[in-house]
Amino acid sequence: MRSYPGVILAGGEGTRLGTVDKALVELGGKRLIARVIDRLAPQCATLAISANGDPKRYAEFGYPIIPDGAAEMQGPLAGVLAGLDWAATKGFKAIVTVATDTPFFPTNLVERLSQVARPEEFGIAVTEEKGETRWHPTFGLWPVSLRDDLRVALARHQRRMVQFTESKGAVPVVFEGPVPDALFFNINTAEDLAQAEEMLARV
């Protein structure tokens, strides 16, 4: 499992949290990106942070900062593409992506993704709630071989992650946990942040 690099998608501006960098918002006295790093680093060979803006704000974490690319290509898929391009220069065959605003993702994320999807395949995390499958496309195992198709999609302004992942035949990887509502709980608003504070004691 540790043969895969992890790419943290930290491009979210957090507009519903004010004018703050979402990755640097504190949860339980610790910044979100620090929580994500602590959870992902033991699962991966190395990490990189995909983000725009001043890279100095993440310098203290000691990982490469990868810009998302041109303004017209910004968004989670652009962050994935930047991660794939970076991984290709390092000789990796695939990357695992996570979102910086989702601090409770599974500690066996990489293990489960790699069990179901091989490096040349494409695996995306899903949960099943009340008989319905919910996709979490920012959490996935992405083969480097996808980068050319992804570049074309972005050039055509196709930015929807679920649409792209489904069109490329992503393998759904089901995750379960003792607190299922927390697994991929993402923080977008002040209310979400307050709810996440309550979840801390349960995860």
Residue ranges per domain, the chain? 6-198
**Binding-site entries for GTP:** 9-11, 22, 68, 101
**Binding-site entries for Mg(2+):** 101
Q: How many helices (H) and strands (E) does the chain have?
A: 6, 9
Is 0.95 surpassed by the pTM of this model? no
Class of domain 6-198: alpha beta
Phi, psi of 54 (to 5 degrees): -70, 115
Interval 143-159 mean pLDDT: 92
Residue 11: predicted pLDDT: 76
Question: What are the distances in angstroms from CA 187 to CA 25, 33, 67, 179, 184?
Answer: 10, 12, 22, 16, 10
Determine contact, residues 92/5, Cβ cutoff 8 Å.
yes
Residue 104 has pLDDT above 80, yes or no: yes
Residue 130: predicted pLDDT: 64
**Binding-site entries:** 9-11, 22, 68, 101
Distance CA 129, CA 162 (A): 17
More confident residue, 10 or 177: 10
More confident residue, 69 or 56: 56
Residue 54: predicted pLDDT: 83
Kindly indicate the confidence band of residue 21, based on its pLDDT and cuts at 50, 70 and 90: confident
Kindly indicate the confidence band of residue 177, based on its pLDDT and cuts at 50, 70 and 90: confident
Determine contact, residues 7/88, Cβ cutoff 8 Å.
no
